[in-house]
Structure 1
Amino acid sequence: MIISLIILESYYKKNKITKTQMCFSILFIIYLLHVYGSTVFSRLPSTRKYQLEVFWSWKEIIHPIGRLGTASRYDLLLENILNIVMLLPIGIFLPLAYGKKIDWKVGLLIGIGISFSIELLQLVLCRGLFEFDDIIHNSLGFLIGILISNRILRKKL
């Protein structure tokens, strides 16, 4: 974090970034660190867990097999929505920090990369459930953030 701030200050002093870009870069870094902290590093180690079936959570919500009650299905739906919302702010901050619109395909790849790194850390450090559904939901949220930010930048230009 400190190294990032030093680099940002250096770029700002050399007029390579604006004050707005510096502020959004700081927000991006702080929020990203918070996401890693809350999804990986705040959890206690347990056993290595993974769910490799794509859209298993939606299958369980829509057509329950009987393992989950109504309240648990609601919790699963809420978890999916929160996973989408979790990376949305980072998707908004990145183009504003960069100072330019980011192509949606590039944004999707960045979102997949960030989300995959979270899931991989959870798997390797045994601190949560590695699942493809989380990668999909997080990436979707990041992409929505990119599209919102691109729209803001388009109106600004």
Structure 2
Amino acid sequence: MNIYQIIITHNKGWTKEEAIYFGVILLLLAGLLTISVYKHKILKLQAIAVLLLAGYIGIVFGSTVFTRKSSIRKYKIIPLWSWKEILFGNGGKELLIENILNIILLLPMGILLPFVFKKKLKSKRAFLYGFFVSAMIECCQLAFKCGLFEWDDMIHNGIGCMLGSMIGNIVLNEWQRLRNKNNIV
């Protein structure tokens, strides 16, 4: 299954109401962030990063929880079961692709986190942020019966967030170096 097929198979589109609610929440957040920038509580770059992060997490929750069809409560409580299936079972290519997509899912979140906090983020902390967000997703999927609760997703999402933060740390470091070199505020 390619990425497009996975998206259309597992996710229904947002209704107009859902899109409007999401847009209103982002607009309210943008207003609060603008006030915070105006009062010099946060930098413009931080405000942009927070808004992008909130928007991205909202889209992730929308596609992994809120727009999925409810079915039965499903869970896999054995950590790394997917890798056992890939290596020794019948999981093969499709399960490997799913694991890679789970790593990629929170990579953008990890890239944004150093900008949100305005400093380099340690890998362990980034992993924990990704794991926590993923745990919320997994618990919602279990509670709303709209997906498979599994430790593997939390681990893979945490790894993706950690890898993203490594990229974000490099980009933030370069941005700060250029800003200081060019005396940009």
Q: With the length of structure 2 as denominator, give the TM-score of the two structures.
A: 0.77
Matched residue type, 1:33: G
Alignment partner, residue 25 of structure 1: 50
Structure 2: 5+ residue stretches without partners: 1-24, 178-185
Higher relative contact order (CA 8 A, sep 6+): 1
1:51 lines up with 2:76 in the alignment: yes
Deviation readout 1:6-53 (Å, 9 max, x if unpaired): 221111111222222222211111111000000011101110000011
Structure 1: 5+ residue stretches without partners: none
Matched residue type, 2:94: D
Deviation readout 1:83-118 (Å, 9 max, x if unpaired): 000000011012112221122222222111101000
Q: Percent identity?
A: 42
RMSD between superposed Cα atoms in Å: 1.4
1:10 lines up with 2:50 in the alignment: no
Aligned counterparts, 1:138-153, within 5 A: 138-153=157-172
Alignment partner, residue 112 of structure 2: 93
Structure 1 residue 151: deviation in Å?
1.9
Match of 1:73 among 60, 82, 92: 92
Cα distance in 2 for partners of 1:8, 1:96 equals: 14
Cα distance in 1 for partners of 2:86, 2:127 equals: 25
Cα distance in 2 for partners of 1:126, 1:18 equals: 40
For residue 84 of structure 1, give the secondary structure of its aligned residue in structure 2.
helix
Cα distance in 1 for partners of 2:44, 2:28 equals: 18
Match of 1:118 among 137, 162, 172: 137
Aligned length, in residue pairs: 151
Higher deviation after alignment, 23-32 or 127-136: 23-32
For residue 119 of structure 2, give the secondary structure of its aligned residue in structure 1.
coil
- Structure 1 segments, 4+ long, off by >4 Å, are none
Q: With the length of structure 1 as denominator, give the TM-score of the two structures.
A: 0.90
Cα distance in 2 for partners of 1:51, 1:95 equals: 32
Alignment partner, residue 135 of structure 1: 154
